[in-house]
Amino acid sequence: MDVPREELKQIRVERPLYEHQELRDNFLYEKPIKINAAKQWTKNLRAKKIALGLFPIFDWLGKYNWKKDLVPDCISGFTVAIMHIPQGMAYAFLGNVDPVVGIYMAFFPVLIYTLFGTSRHNSLGTFSVACLMTGKAVAEYSDPLYFNTNTNSTAVPTGYKPIEVATAVTFVVAIVQLAMFVLRLGAMSALLSETLVSGFTTGAAVQVLVSQVKDLLGLELEKYKGNFVNVLTVIDVFRKITHTNMAALIISVVTITVSALNNDYLKPIVAKKSPFPFPMELVAVVAGTLVSKYCNLNENYGVKIVKTIAVGLPEPSLPPLELISNLIVDGITIAIVSYTITLSMALIFAQKLEYEVDANQEAFALSLSNFFGSFFSCMPICASLSRSLIQQVVGGVTQLASLVSCLILLVVLLWIGPFFEPLPKAVLASLIVVALKGMLLQVLDFWKFWKLSKMDALVWMGTFLTVSFVAIDIGLLVGVCLSLASIFLLSFKPHTYLLGQVPNTDFYLDVARYKAAKEIDSIKIFHYSGGINFATKTIFRDDLIRLVGINPQKEVVYRATVAKYIEKMEGTKPPAKTQVKLERAQSKVNTDLRCLVLDFSSVSYIDPSGVTMLKNIIESFTKLDIPVIIASCKEPVYEMLTKCDPDYYAKAGFRSFPTVHDAVHYCTELFRNSSNATIATIQMTE
């Protein structure tokens, strides 16, 4: 029940004036005891069954409502399976492997993820960015003879098939993600900020777009390796643009136009009337296959087609372990990117549908899925936003929908696969390009970040340009470095200001922003937001001196100068020149400040260097008979202050209070007692 506003207009609190240590003593302060990792692991094992921890499927399957949820899961699984076929075949080409590999990825690893994953709606399988990053490594280490395109004349035969390199990458990704799980490094994904991810995925979309130009135009281009592949590819495209295959170009234009119209106009109309999306991608693939087959596009017009698609399931084989040392950088990059994207989407669905997702368990599930997939001709898997959304919107409740999808794809692998052999590559390239629209439109995010923060805009642009024109892995590294640099630089710009009191209240607000807040006579309240460490201690001191208006070192000199002139002029009539110097020196002396309050309510951390600096400031102000008081000090900061010197407070001669209001009350009482003592001294003298 809401309380009427009239009853909330007056707040009155009566309590004693506390110092920080008194607060601890009176309210039974006790520092929490941290449990080490081994004890925490043992505690977790005792707290819940191992099976429920490692096999989340037992948790939701035990509560599964078979009558209510089975049909929606089956419908969702069937719908997602239809999406897997064209997407899997298309994105497999990004990885420079056979199209059937994309369907393998939607089958083998997904079976494992269903057992170990905590997200009930993520649709695992192919994802454009992860496949493209894998394709870079495949192009780098595969034998050029396995590609049906012209190769660079300087290429050296390696003897490795593209799928062997791809599975080796998957194996490395599995190891990295397992290490993330064991070391509890799920927080590493926090390094990939929204700004970085936006710039990275937009740049990757440009990479994908350029990589598909050859199939869109039906060109024969060289396979470039290393950095600046996009630039070299674009130059090669313009050099050979006159050799464009017109049949492939027509197929691309038609497919892109129809698919774009479907996404922009037909899909919204269908969504209003039915939860099931119209499978335009599958229609395009089937139509392209039939037209190619009955018009002999490959023989009559030279249109490149998919060709052989293996029937049945691949035999398990060990990835080439000798390649692992060469693929560590690629594996780490892909592992972090795929984990971050998968976890982000899992958290979105979990928050929306009110269930829990375990970040470290997700790393474990992805690790086992990729490990299993590396033995069955799979590239690293990642969650797909489009498929996951469809899986949830159509009615999917649990990962049982993924199992249904796997069963349907098993039928495709065993019997239907060869049907797609005449499919033109231009159709798959067109579907990829249309799917990139959302990622490419993220380029507009730059202006949003520019308006919000120039630093974020710099991170976005640096990441985007490096990914687009240099390389994906280098672009990710540049983005992370820029993000860390921005955090480091922002720590050198702490927010500092003076506080004033709103009359007749305990509110203390920024006097530069709140006109109703007035500074208290003879008291300066300095507010600092951020950490105080070896790197920021000078900033703290300089901002304090600037805002308070007193430099203690100079103030001591000014006062000593005044005292010298006064002593020199005692009993004599000073010359006019000396009188001018005295007045000039007296004008520099600050007599207004009688007490300094440091508001530490927003100080998150202080290190020993910061403590030493703080001691020096306190001692220098104390020499001027200006007491320094700390207010609203966080417990970890207070503990660091006392830990560095147990007798610190007694030696320094200052106090700490739990609130600014307590500190101000203490200062006013200090002034009152000082005035009373002065009056008593005068009366005794008289």
The yes-or-no verdict on residue 11 having pLDDT over 70 is: no
Domain assignment present for residue 283? The answer is yes
pLDDT at 107: 96
The yes-or-no verdict on residue 452 having pLDDT over 70 is: yes
Is there a single domain that holds both residue 431 and residue 516?
no
How would DSSP label each residue in 516-556? T-BPPTTEEEEEEEEEESTTTHHHHHHHHHHHH---HHHHH
Is there a single domain that holds both residue 410 and residue 505?
no
Is there a single domain that holds both residue 544 and residue 408?
no
Is there a single domain that holds both residue 415 and residue 509?
no
Task: State the Cα–Cα distance between residues 387 and 337, nearest whole angstrom.
Answer: 18
The yes-or-no verdict on residue 544 having pLDDT over 90 is: yes
The yes-or-no verdict on residue 294 having pLDDT over 90 is: yes
Angle, alpha carbons 74-75-78 (nearest 5°): 85
Is there a single domain that holds both residue 597 and residue 527?
yes
pLDDT at 81: 93
pLDDT at 23: 79
The yes-or-no verdict on residue 171 having pLDDT over 80 is: yes
Is there a single domain that holds both residue 185 and residue 98?
yes
Mean pLDDT of the chain: 85
Which residue among 395, 410, 437 closes a domain? 437
Task: State the Cα–Cα distance between residues 143 and 155, nearest whole angstrom.
Answer: 9
pLDDT at 581: 60
Contact 312, 409 (CB under 8 A): no
Is there a single domain that holds both residue 373 and residue 247?
yes
Mean pLDDT of 7-28: 74
> What pTM was computed for the model?
0.79
Number of domains in the chain: 2
Is there a single domain that holds both residue 247 and residue 177?
yes
Give per-residue pLDDT as tens, 365-379.
999 999 999 999 999
pLDDT at 686: 42
Domain assignment present for residue 120? The answer is yes
pLDDT at 684: 41
Alpha-carbon separation of residue 634 from 19, 27, 104 (angstroms): 13, 16, 54
Query: Which of the given ranges, 21-35, 41-55, 455-469, has the highest pLDDT on average?
Result: 455-469
Domain assignment present for residue 114? The answer is yes
Give per-residue pLDDT as tens, 216-229.
999 988 878 878 99
Task: Tell me which residue range forms the domain holding 515.
Answer: 495-550+590-685
User: How far is the first Cα of the chain from the last one, in angstroms, to the nearest whole number?
Assistant: 66
Give per-residue pLDDT as tens, 274-291.
777 888 899 999 999 999
Is there a single domain that holds both residue 170 and residue 261?
yes
Domain assignment present for residue 558? The answer is no
Is there a single domain that holds both residue 393 and residue 502?
no
Give per-residue pLDDT as tens, 80-114.
999 999 999 999 989 999 999 999 999 999 999 99
pLDDT at 159: 80
State the residue for tokens 């799920």. 186
Task: State the Cα–Cα distance between residues 168 and 172, nearest whole angstrom.
Answer: 6
Which residue among 437, 453, 468 closes a domain? 437
| CATH code of residue 517 | 3.30.750.24
Which residue among 437, 453, 478 closes a domain? 437
pLDDT at 685: 40
**Cβ of 203: how many Cβ atoms within 10 Å?**
29
**Cβ of 185: how many Cβ atoms within 10 Å?**
17
Element (H, E) at 475: helix 472-490
The yes-or-no verdict on residue 40 having pLDDT over 60 is: no
Domain assignment present for residue 501? The answer is yes
Give me the percent of the chain exceeding a pLDDT of 90. Answer: 48
Is there a single domain that holds both residue 529 and residue 385?
no
Element (H, E) at 221: none
pLDDT at 77: 92
Task: State the Cα–Cα distance between residues 105 and 110, nearest whole angstrom.
Answer: 7
Domain assignment present for residue 473? The answer is no
Domain assignment present for residue 193? The answer is yes
Domain assignment present for residue 18? The answer is no
The yes-or-no verdict on residue 509 having pLDDT over 80 is: yes
The yes-or-no verdict on residue 682 having pLDDT over 70 is: no
Is there a single domain that holds both residue 503 and residue 432?
no
Closest Cα partner for 92 from 55, 127, 44, 60? 127
